Structure 1
Amino acid sequence: MVTDLFASRHIGIRKDDLPKMLQTIGVESIDQLIDETIPGEIKLKKPLDLSKEMSEHEFLSHINALSEKNKVFKTYIGLGYNECITPSVIKRNILENPGWYTAYTPYQAEIAQGRLEALLNFQTMICDLTSMELSNASLLDESTAAAEAMTMLYDVRPREQKKNEVVKFFVSNEVMPQTLSLLQTRSKPLGIELVIGDHETFEFDEGFYGALLQYPGKYGQVCDYRSFVQKAKEKEMKVAVATDILSLVLLTPPGEIGVDVVVGTTQRFGIPLGYGGPHAAFFATREAFKRNIPGRIIGLTKDTDGNPALRMALQTREQHIKRDKATSNICTAQVLLAVMAGAYAVYHGPKGLESIANKVHYNARLLSQLLEKQGFKQLNTSFFDTIKVLVPNTGSLKSIAEKKGINFNFIDTNTVSISVNEATSRDDIKLITSCFNELSESNKLNTIATEIKDVIPYSLLRSTPFLENEVFNSYHSETELMRYLKKLERKDLALNHSMIALGSCTMKLNAASQMLPLSMPAWGNIHPFVPIDQAEGYQIVLRELERDLTEITGFAGTSLQPNSGAQGEYAGLMTIRAYHESRGDIHRNICIIPASAHGTNPASAVMAGMKVVVTKTDDRGNIDMADLQDKVEIHSDNLAALMVTYPSTHGVFESSIKKITQLIHDHGGQVYMDGANMNAQVGLTNPATIGADVCHLNLHKTFAIPHGGGGPGVGPICVAEQLLPFLPGNPVIKTGGEKAISAISGAPWGSSLVCLISYGYIKMLGASGLTNSTKIAILNANYIKNRLSGKFDVLYTGEKGRAAHEMIIDCRPFKVHGIEVTDIAKRLMDYGFHAPTVSFPVAGTLMIEPTESENLDELDRFCDAMIAIRAEIDKSSAKEPDNLLKNAPHTLHMVTNDAWEFPYSRQEAAFPLPYVGENKFWPSVRRVDEAYGDRNLICTCIPIEEYMVV
């Protein structure tokens, strides 16, 4: 092993392992396996054209040198992004901790109670501060959350409003520019007419179903919206408010004035700016909309013993499960960032947040009075942290400020806004005022005013308490919070404990060298709207990452803006839509989608204004060519796109893929390839070669951004030449194509900070390492397939009997023993493993994907566990359900209880194989009762004794 070669650290299989694995699979070499797996006509003829691989040490030196090209100014631009202070205890114990950042989405609740509690804290914090009844567990960013509010309110319109031919949505001119751009993107395909104007002069005409307000406004003005909300109610209009979460510590919460939805970002609760993300947005609403709210909700239920347990509530309501009936395609969240924001509130508590908010507000008032003493007019009559100032010439002020290392928000030639923040000190205030002194050539001293005037009317001051729950009033020392976070972490199974073999989700190693740059201030403290020349390091990284992803996919260009895989799907379809419109083919609105596709695919198509036509799959799991031919011919004149996952969702490289894509092109359509399974393509084939026109890539899967318990994710799109002009833009910083569609996410380059991870992954692996990673992923999957042969049936394979990088095993035959696939998933917990993907894409199955970063010993432990479980299944009987699988998982409390009334031993329950005892992971609750929790929906932290019926 070459010790400084990253590939040797990332790829788990060693050269000495190959003979055993190849023999088990029944091939002479890896190349033979690849030839039997991937159709020859789509294999790449030459290696990827990427820069030479770096060692980990070289990469860290390189990324540090690039960071020094960024200019970290004191930035007061605001517009929804503010510098904040990440408490070191949170940075070290969450952001830099693989126990938190390598966990998967908490679908298996029994081994995710820590994350679920942290998210419940987040939801409680949001409900308290907004005074709303219900909050989800985070969304992608404030702008997309606002767009989700617009579409949710569209979906819940009263029946009479749904009859209106013209559907209108009012948007206050105080709304952030990036949010307005998102609303324009989302409204167009749905036929919603946006009306932008002044809320004070707005005429409540017929046809309006809702409105969006900003509180405080984009340049800081705090408006009293009570009259507007009251009039809206009289007209049966629903109202959403985008708000600053820190301001609600001092301001009357929107929920108290009767609004229907409150959205915003929790970025200023300890989350680095990161040149735009990732940050956890929030979405709070009334309980009446609990079955319409986008994203995930964490709720309380009970386990088998009647003890409190948490899980994702209303799972059957998740939007992507509704497929083409969905009003949102949300499939992920910003869990890691929501956990951090919730921990920030836990650490500071209500008094700490009041102290921070008061400091910010005091400094804003102080600055306003100092500038007015210098002769400048401050325009905001009421404000929290942002003032708006008239100046003779913003160009001169910009020049002065930049020389002092300061960024303001220059609105026009005579107006500037300044947003102070948690990190703003008195010295910073003096430096700001010195810029204005220089502008006016004043010799006035920067004296501190003796009396600071109140600027928020008494009627708009908060009067209700918040964060009264015990969790927000218990952990205010570092020792206390460190132990609390460790207590939560111990309840969660993450990659630092064992392999997570999730099909379609590619839970691979998130290398420490890739993660370390996220903690560097020169990457974390860059506002997304700073001048480009202040972000030279970022620009180099982002351009290089775009180039590398373009090379890997074989396309012509890339946009990094989408900040989730589902958002990438939507972005890809919107570029296709724009392409057709540019050619006058406005009528092309049919999107063909295989029945086996991810649920987000049809949801994204509907959001993009397309009609979904489903095509069948055959007995081998491939697209039914005859059915596809029929559907294409029927809809030829109106065909917009085909959405296809490759290799298929069934884990097979379909040999007819080029015929499929050619058929679509022959009928005027474009081909969108879902990049969920790109881990089986990199370096061996690519989307361009199979004939696709656009694909999204899950950087949180194939390119090693951590799942973080359900986010962050990044879903860039790569496009062919004809789609380049339509790549998404941004209203503040120019990006995208010549005919750019409006924004897909709030920041110009989406979640830029975590793009550093994928950049490092590619740079350290290089062309050879990336290609070998793909080969080993396919090797590992086929090794597991053959080891489980005879014990479990694999549903689908390629023409030569090979799996791609994942496979589906059929658990339906075990019903004769009274065993369901869920029982196998829960029993795997006793063996120390997270279950593979359950019942997707086929009900009653497990989809297994080992990835390339697992070693042979771990693969064997997993196979041993599955084979042992099969033996337990054979001993089970539907007539005697009191068995190991039905009672799984077994907790420490069960095994150590004086009473043991089960027909098997404690050792069989908790230590079924010798390896388990070496590193035992204990589920913290028994099997959760999903139905009980949905009937008794509790989604905030209220004392257990108030609601728990055992």
Structure 2
Amino acid sequence: MNLFQSQSNEFPARHIGTLSSTKELLAVTGYKRLEELIDRTIPASIRKKDELSVPDAVSEAQLLKELKEISLKNKVFRNYIGQGYYDTITPSVILRNIFENPGWYTQYTPYQAEISQGRLESLLNYQTMISDLTGLPLANASLLDEATAAAEAMNMFFHHVNRTEQINQPRFFVDNNVFRQTKDLLITRANPIGIEVVFGDYRNAAIDNSYFGALIQYPGEDGSIEDFRSFINTIHSVGGYVAMATDLLALTLLTPPGELGADVAFGSAQRFGVPLGYGGPHAAFFSAKDDFKRSIPGRIIGVSVDAAGNRALRMALQTREQHIKREKATSNICTAQALLANMAAMYAVYHGPAGLRNIAKRTALLTRTLAIELGNLGFEVINQNFFDTIHVSTNNVDAVRENALNQQINFYYSENTIGISLDETTTQSDVLDIVSVFAASIGEDTSSVIFDNEASLDNIPSSLTRTSLYLTHPVFNSHRSESQMMRYIKSLENKDLSLNTSMISLGSCTMKLNAATEMIPLSWSHFSRIHPFAPVDQAAGYQQVISELSAFLCNITGLDACSMQPNSGAQGEYAGLLAIRNYHIATGHGHRNVILIPISAHGTNPASAVMAGMKVVVVKALENGYIDVDDFKAKAEQHSANLAGTMITYPSTYGIFEEGVKDICDVVHQHGGQVYLDGANMNAQVGLTSPGLIGADVCHLNLHKTFAIPHGGGGPGMGPICVKSHLAPHLPGHWSLGDGKSAVSAAPYGSASILLISYAYCRMLGASGLKASTEYAILNANYMKARLESAYPILYTSHNGTCAHEFIVDLRPFKTSAGIEAEDIAKRLMDYGFHAPTMSFPVPGTIMIEPTESEDKAELDRFCDALLAIREEIAAVENGTADKTNNVLKNAPHTQFVITADEWQRPYSRQQAAFPLDYVKENKFWPSVGRVNNTVGDRNLICTCEPVSAYEEAVS
């Protein structure tokens, strides 16, 4: 070994946990060579012959050096563009302890409530913050971005009013003063489902009973603050509902939407401490009147009780409603922006109500000062009432732009006006510089601005000045020192199981290593402080990363073009289906609207299809889990004239590489349809096969699965789509890019900042490492299957007896033999220190295990040992050694309060309950609550922090 060579690239070996254990794993699976296992698993007809065209791998140190150089190609100007995106200051205690902390960013969505109480409490804080500031009683635990939240409000109103198949009120009014990206996205979402969007001035809108609702912005796109009370009453008088886009910081000073009569309030929580990041990820907020609690999209965190009657939090009501309702769903929301919602919630905890108001008041005073000074120079400020944004009329926009760029300043430009939005980071010096830019454009010089700290906020009308209290709960008024804040964050982290605790073996969700080196660049200012609507030449670094990553993904998928815009997997599904729909329209086949979807498909598939204006036809599955090809062919023939395409997942949702997949694609193409491939299981394809090779026309990729973006406790995610060349003209576009195409997300590249993670992942693994990751994901799954199949029935395998990267364990027999259900085993795994695998999907009463390539053999063995020990516990119930209703499984999980109680009257020992295997003693993770009562939580929905009196009553 030459020690004088450049740094060796150890990353593949550090990412692939079982690389050094290959022989031991193969011995258990019965194969001598890894290539033999792969050949038996993946059909020869779809095996990739050539190598990936991804650059050779680089070391972690070299990657960081290269990314630093790329970042410096971005130009960090002072951004006063606004339009829903504002610079902000992330408190260091939040940056270090949440944003950069794997204990927060590697958590999974909190479906297992007992080991998720920390992030559930933080998300409850978020809901409380939103509810308080908007003046509406019900809030969800975040959506994707402001524009898609607007679309969710529109869809919710539409289905709420038009509850039958006969649509009597198809029109939706949108005020002209709404953000442009929001208006564009509303058109995208409205058209496929038959909504007519009508734009106009709310002051003279001709509203009649053909309207089901309206959307207004408060403050408006131009910064103006309007009193919408009369307009809201008008909409209500015709049976419609009103959604109000708004700004959280402004609402500390303004009358909240709920008090004005709005039915829904929404917007972006970005300016509460979340970096710009060239457009995201940013948590959208959404609150509503209680009337909508059964139809509000996304996740609601609710308060319930555990088995001992103690307070416990859980996700309530409509959680993953699309998986239940499938084609009858009104939303396909799956990924949220939980990590960013937690940051925003902690920002409110950190500053408290007084601190937030001071930030808002200072911003408003600086804006007022700027307006006065520009007026003194002779410029007309169009909006008289404003919070942080003014629009200035001028016939010399180009001169102002040139001067501003010379000073490294960005404004928002339109034909004869210039928008200026100030924010938390703006200083008095910044205001002086802005005034100087305008003065220079008319040949004047200015060197002073008068700042009056005691000036009244006469730019906010008294009739719309907030008088109601907000954030009165103790959590927002207690943590003022950094020590308190740090300990509060840590106390919540301690209640949550994340990847820094143990493996999370969720099938279909691919909870792999999120390497620290991949995460580090996200905090760099040259990536974090770029506005999504900044001129493209100021984002050359981002453009390079996006271009290169797009090329990587096209090569990996075997397709021709890529859109990075969809900011979740479900949004990728939707964007892919829109591409298919628009292609058919463009080729004169707009009548094609039938989509064939296997019964085993992800629940978001049929939901996305319906949102894209498609009619879903379900295809049967065979007993072995394969798609019923005869049924598929029959339905393709039956709907041939109207067939738009099919949605398939490959490997299948059952964890199988079906041999007949190319035949299925051929059938669709023969009948004039297009093939959409759900990329949720791409972790079993990369480097070995590809959607293009299989026959797909479009594929979405879950970057938060296959390409290492962290799940963040329920988001962020990214769902870019790759397509064949004939679909490329129908990829999403964005007004800020001037391409004239419709958008599916608020920002042109979705949650652009987290693309850095997947870029780093590809660069550090290189072609051979990417392929090896897939091979070891398959090897690890087959190893675990081999260890478990003597104790548990494995539901589906290929004809050769192998699985892909995941497999399904059938737990249904134990309900008959021992009264033990899948939920009992899921909760008992917590006592062994593990998160349960995916439960009851795609088959009720089962668990689906996906180990990924990132776990080492010791961790795989610990998990297998836990399941084998649980099988012995089930056997004890089966043979009568353990009680059928009062046993270690039915009572799981066991908290430390139960274990250390003075009395112990259970028919098994404390040792068995808490420390069932030796390894548990060395690193015990304690669930903080017992089994949560779902029914109580749904029947008595509480979705905000309870008043202090509630805690006092609980104690008494």
TM-score, normalisation: structure 2: 0.97
Q: Is the 8 A contact 1:296 1:318 kept in 2?
A: no
Deviations along 1:523-562, one digit per CA (max 9) or x if unpaired, are 0000000000000000000111111101100000100000
| C-alpha contact 1:374 1:444 (8 A) present in aligned 2 | no
Give the counterpart letter for 1:228 in structure 2: F
- The answer for the alignment partner of 1:387 in structure 2 is 390
Match of 1:105 among 106, 109, 113: 109
Deviation at 1:163, TM superposition (A): 4.3
Question: CA offset at residue 50 of structure 1?
Answer: 1.0
Give the aligned partner of residue 43 of structure 1: 47
Structure 2: which 5+ residue stretches go unaligned? Answer: 2-6
- Does residue 436 (structure 1) correspond to residue 438 (structure 2)? The answer is yes
| Structure 1 match to 2:305 | 302
Residue 502, structure 1, aligned to residue 506, structure 2: yes
The corresponding residue for 1:64 is: 68
Note the alpha carbon deviations across 1:823-844, whole angstroms, 9 max, x for none.
Answer: 0000000000000000000000
Residue 773 of structure 1 is matched in structure 2 by: 773
Match of 2:218 among 202, 215, 220: 215
Partner of 1:236: 239
Partner amino acid, structure 1, of 2:159 = D
Q: In the alignment, what sits opposite 2:19? A: 14
Match of 2:56 in 1: 52
Which residue pairs with 1:423 in the alignment?
Answer: 425
The corresponding residue for 1:859 is 860
Counterpart check, 1:351 vs 2:354: yes
1:654 matched to 2:658: yes
Measured after TM superposition, the shift of residue 944 of structure 1 is 6.2
Distance in 2 between residues matched to 1:723 and 1:131, nearest whole Å: 45
User: SS where residue 170 of structure 1 aligns?
Assistant: strand
- Show the 5 A alignment for 1:813-828: 813-815=813-815, 816-828=817-829
Equivalent residues of 2:561, 2:723 under 8 A apart = yes
SS of 1:28's equivalent in the other structure is coil
SS in 1 for 2:736: coil
**Equivalent residue for 1:186?**
189
CA distance in 2, matches of 1:317, 1:295: 7
Partner of 2:830: 829
Q: Following the alignment from structure 1 to structure 2, what is the Cα–Cα distance between the partners of residues 14 and 627?
A: 42
- For the residues of structure 1 that align with 2:320 and 2:728, how far apart are their CA atoms? 36
> Partners of 1:212 and 1:447 in 2: how far apart?
38
8 Å CA contact retained: 2:735, 2:741 = no
Which whole-Å CA distance do the structure 2 matches of 1:250 and 1:292 have between them?
A: 30
Preserved contact between residue 556 and residue 690 of structure 2 (Cα < 8 Å) = yes
The equivalent of 2:843 in structure 1 is 842
Shift of 1:4: 3.0
Q: Does the 8 A contact of 2:565 with 2:750 survive in 1?
A: yes
Give distance in 1, aligned partners of 2:169 and 2:712.
42
SS of aligned partner of 2:735: coil
Task: Please name the residue that 1:797 is paired with.
Answer: 797
1:375 Cα deviation after fit: 1.3
The answer to whether the 8 A contact 1:164-1:207 is kept is: no
Matched, 1:755 2:759: no
* Aligned counterpart, 2:4: none
8 Å Cα contact 2:307/2:933 also seen in 1: yes
Question: Pick from 249, 273, 277: which aligns with 1:246?
Answer: 249
Contact 2:436 2:447 in 1 (8 A): no
Find the counterpart in structure 2 of residue 493 from structure 1: 497
Residues 308 and 452 (structure 1), Cα distance of their counterparts in 2 relative to 1, 3 Å cut = closer
1:502–1:460 CA distance, 2 compared to 1 (3 A)? same
Task: Give the structure 2 partner of residue 482 of structure 1.
Answer: 486
Aligned to 2:205: 202
Aligned to 1:905: 909
Is 1:322 matched with 2:325? yes
**Matched positions, count:** 943
The Cα shift of 1:452 comes to: 6.0
* Residues 886-917 of structure 1: per-residue CA shift (max 9 Å, x gap): 00001000111111011111110000000001
Q: Name the structure 2 match of 1:145.
A: 149
User: Structure 1 pair 754/253, CA: closer, same or farther in 2 (3 Å)?
Assistant: same
Contact in 2 for aligned 1:370/1:446 (Cα 8 Å) = no
SS state of the match for residue 455, structure 1? Answer: coil
Q: How far has the Cα of 1:314 moved from its partner?
A: 1.4
Structure 2 vs 1, CA of residues 380 and 721 (structure 1 numbering), >3 Å: closer, same or farther? same
Please report how far the alpha carbon of residue 442 of structure 1 lies from its aligned counterpart in structure 2 after TM superposition.
1.2
2:10 is equivalent to residue 5 of structure 1: yes
Q: Whole-Å Cα distance in 2 between the matches of residues 158 and 669 of structure 1? A: 31
**Counterpart selection for 2:448 from 432, 443, 446:** 446
How many angstroms apart in 2 are the aligned matches of 1:812 and 1:734? 55
Structure-2 change in CA distance of 1:3 and 1:494 (3 Å): farther
Inter-CA distance 453–240: structure 2 relative to 1 (3 Å threshold) = closer
Check conservation: 1:345, 1:472, Cα contact below 8 A: yes
Q: Partners of 1:502 and 1:734 in 2: how far apart? A: 41
Distance 1:316 1:138, change over 3 A: closer
Distance 2:402 2:588 in 1: 46
Assess if the C-alpha contact under 8 Å between 1:334 and 1:710 holds in 2. yes
Alpha-carbon distance, 1:327 to partner: 0.5
Q: Which residue of 2 aligns with 1:711?
A: 715
Corresponding letter in the other structure for 2:839 = V
CA-CA distance at 1:85 after TM superposition: 0.5
CA distance in 2, matches of 1:610, 1:436: 52
Give 3-state SS (helix, strand or coil) of 1:858's partner: helix
> Deviations 1:715-747 (Å, cap 9, x if unpaired)?
000001110001101112235xxxx75110000
Q: Deviations over 1:847-898 (max 9, x none)?
A: 0000000000000000000000000000015963110000000100011111
Q: Do residues 746 (structure 1) and 740 (structure 2) align? A: no
The residue that corresponds to 1:556 in the other structure is: 560
Amino acid at match of 2:231: F
Whole-angstrom CA distance in 2 between matches of 1:880 and 1:154: 49
Q: Does the 8 A contact of 1:5 with 1:54 survive in 2?
A: no
CA displacement 1:172-217 (0-9 Å, x = unmatched): 0011110011100000011111100000000112311100000111
For residues 139-159 of structure 1, what are the alpha-carbon distances to aligned partners after superposition, in whole Å with 9 as ceiling and x for unaligned?
000000000000000010066
* Cross-structure match for 1:870: 871
Shift of 1:31: 0.2
C-alpha deviation, 1:444, in angstroms? 4.1
Code of the aligned partner of 1:918? E
TM-superposed deviation, 1:620:
1.0
**Which residue is 1:529 aligned to?**
533
C-alpha deviations, 1:266-304, integer Å up to 9, x for none?
000000000000000011001111110000000000000
Inter-partner Cα distance in structure 1 for 2:70 and 2:512: 26
Output the amino acid matched with 2:811: C
Amino acid at match of 2:862: R
CA deviations 1:340-390 (Å, max 9, x no partner) are 000000000000001100011011001001111111111111000001111
- Alignment partner, residue 569 of structure 1: 573
Q: State the alpha-carbon separation in 2 of the partners of residues 133 and 391 from structure 1.
A: 43
